[in-house]
Structure 1
Amino acid sequence: MSDILVTTDWLEQHLDDPSVRILEIGATGTDDAYRSGHVPGAIRFFWKDLSWHESDRAFVTPAEMADRLGAIGVAPDTTLVIYSDKVQYGTYVFWALTMAGHKDLRLLDGSRTKWLAEGRPLSQVVPVFDAAPYEPPAADASSRVGRDDVLNNLENNSRLMLDVRSPEEYSGERVMPSPGFDHGAERTGRIPGAVHLFFQELLNEDDTFLSQDELRKKFTGAGAGPDQVSEVVGYCRLSHRATLAWVAATQVLGWNHMRIYDGSWTEWGSIVGFPIEK
């Protein structure tokens, strides 16, 4: 298994390691779960507050990311361990930090779910760290794809569009998973030619990633293996779930042919004139 994924045993053994900083990534803006108990030493961020520009739906620049990380005592050589209440929000931040250039990133395999299930230590203390100097590293957006690139390559047989949403989203039954109010785009459907692989199939019940052999079978079953297609572009509704598939492909399996269309269905499904399929 990839060194990027750390076990709950590993993290418990490194709770007092000064070279390690732990980030809990929340799916919502409320921090009730964090305050009820979190991995000792973990600092919580709502995913948008760390990954996005303050006012735009755009990623932070490396300089902005450096300011946010430096403020919590993270230096360029700090080992950042990320976990979340839902795995895909942690993988999204992992991907954003990868693009922003932080070098030593880890994901807690099983995330918050496994940590709690195993009765690991919890704390209600909100840690405070001295700020650290953090020079902005070089950004690398090579794993990101824009809408025009997707549109211009719809007939490109060497590229596979991989839709990792729920079956009801992929079929055009809903814009977002049920239950609840259906919103997030003007139209339902999928990008023409997209192949389906539900992101949840890449995880075990305890939120750990499947084994390498099992993941390989999932991707190749969808025609997304590196010996089947030159490039895979993943998408979902907001791109969180797509980053989970990206982590599975690039970090766990070590493949280098997958990128993310982060505008995903919220963008594609709302653009007048862009083709859809149901």
Structure 2
Amino acid sequence: KAGHIPGAVFWNATDLLLSDQHTNFDPVAIEELLARSGITNDTTAIAYGDHPATGGWIFWLLKVFGHRDVRVLNGGRQKWIAEGHPLTTEPPIITPTVYHAQAPDPSLRASREYVQESLGQTERVLVDVRTPQEYSGEWFYNKPPEGTERGGHIPGAVHIDCELALNKDGTFKPIEALQSLYNGKGITADKEAIAYCAVGARSGYTWFILKYLLGYPKVRNYDGSWNEWSKLSDLPVEK
């Protein structure tokens, strides 16, 4: 079904990712994006997309830059449609603003170096939220150049497909079910959780679940994810 929620501003991946599929952490670029979207520092931003992961990823990114009031539309666009709410194909009327982004918060991200330091540390747990086929190295989300393919996962990473956190309608599962899902894999609140996927989007919404739905105090998103790790031949890989 064509259309968007009335008043919604459109962002696509090129607004948020660099050409190498890494997240754009340039504060000036973020300021320009939010300003031309009509968003001020005091705006309530509600993120959604066709897949629930989109909202959680945008939530994480805006929090990295210090936006105060960010929310996720539970179930995204598909749930909105299923409940009979209206869509429109009319573009919104936007009044540009001035936005002041904070410097990126390093405590919400995990760099490649930080992930390397975390290998073998019992107080940190790596969470691979990709599909089973990606985790095992059978399939690539982003097919690398021929001859550089390295499938698999970061050594020691616990696998929990991000889709397991969702109900069939795309909404988040109840808190008790989420606690059981993550605790059952050793991802507990007393450890620092570092989530990753292919480009940091699916792991961004896993970050949202762990940090905001379950209240874990220490959660990071490795936004470089497999797109970065797999291309560096000196880094270890497991299958």
Superposition TM-score, scaled by structure 1 size? 0.79
**1:90 counterpart = 2:55:** yes
Tell me how far apart the structure 2 counterparts of residues 174 and 53 of structure 1 sit (CA, whole Å): 23
Letter in 2 for 1:197: I
Match of 1:237 in 2: 198
Q: What are the equivalent positions in structure 2 for 1:253-268 lying under 5 Å apart?
A: 253-268=214-229
Contact kept in structure 1, 2:127 and 2:160, CA below 8 Å: yes
Q: Report the alpha carbon displacement of residue 141 of structure 1 after superposing the two structures with TM.
A: 2.6
Partners of 2:156 and 2:20 in 1: CA distance: 34
Instruction: Name the counterpart of 1:250.
Output: 211
1:99, 1:140 within 8 Å by CA — same for their partners in 2? Answer: yes
Q: Which runs of 5+ in 2 are unaligned?
A: none
**Structure 2 counterpart of 1:175, which letter?**
F
Cα deviation digits, residues 187-229 of structure 1 (max 9, x gap)? 11111111111100001111111111111111101100114xx
Match of 1:237, as an amino acid?
A
Alpha-carbon distance, 1:174 to partner: 1.8
Aligned mates of 2:237, 2:98 — CA distance in 1: 47
Displacement, 1:138? Answer: 4.4
Q: How far is the alpha carbon of 1:56 from its aligned partner?
A: 8.3
> Which residue of structure 2 lines up, in the alignment, with residue 99 of structure 1?
64
2:230 to 246, 254, 269: 269
Stretch of structure 1 that moved more, 157-166 or 62-71:
62-71
User: In the alignment, what sits opposite 1:224?
Assistant: 187
Picking from 117, 126, 135, the partner of 2:100 is 135
Flag the 1:53–1:169 CA change in 2: closer, same or farther, 3 A: closer
- Of structures 1 and 2, the one scoring higher in RCO (CA 8 A, sep 6+) is 2
Counterpart selection for 2:143 from 183, 188, 198:
183
Q: Deviations over 1:77-131 (max 9, x none)?
A: 0101111011212222211111111111011001011011111111111012111
Q: Kindly indicate which of the two structures has a greater share of residues assigned to strand.
A: 1
CA separation of 1:138/1:224 partners in 2, compared to 1, >3 Å: closer, same or farther? same
C-alpha contact 2:22 2:224 (8 A) present in aligned 1? no
1:47 to 2, 5, 13: 13
Change (3 A) 1:139 1:89: same
Name the aligned partner's letter for residue 80 of structure 2. Answer: W
Corresponding residue SS for 1:218 = helix
Match of 1:146 among 108, 111, 115: 111
Q: Contact conserved, 2:50 with 2:77, CA < 8 A, in 1?
A: yes
Percent of residue pairs bearing the same amino acid type? 37
